[in-house]
Amino acid sequence: MISKKKAQIDFGGEKRTFYFGIGFLGMFIENTNNTLGTLEDNLLKNPFQVLPDLMYYSLLYGYLRQDLTPDFTKYDVMEWIDEGGVGISSPAVVSFRTALIDSLNAKLPEEKGVKKKVKMPKV
């Protein structure tokens, strides 16, 4: 299931809920060497770090907002990506990227009748 605010994706042996929005983005920016302005460049420079970080903080936010203790670490997220067999091209990562981009695009205002689009670089 994918909505504008979250997506349920088979990942790490179970269906997990990834959250999108200011809570997740704030945690991601605060805890990594990224800003919204540098995200695209950093993704191109090192997608093997940035994509797992995005996924980790998206999952973590969901646990923390429900006052639950996460049962995973950032390293688990990296392992689950590797277990997909094709790394950052695995179906779970592709689903996450698509849902994240769709979520960001849904929040952008129209400018003179034209909807802006967020694009994530191909990695």
Sign of CA dihedral 117, 23, 37, 47: negative
Q: State the Cα–Cα distance between residues 42 and 108, nearest whole angstrom.
A: 22
Contact 63, 70 (CB under 8 A): yes
Range 37-41, long-range pairs (CB < 8 A, 24+ positions) = 40/119, 40/120, 40/121
pTM: 0.82
Each of the 123 residues of the chain gets a pLDDT tens digit; together they read 545 689 999 999 999 999 998 899 999 999 998 988 888 899 899 999 999 999 999 999 999 999 999 999 999 999 999 988 788 889 999 999 988 888 877 654 455 554 445 555 555
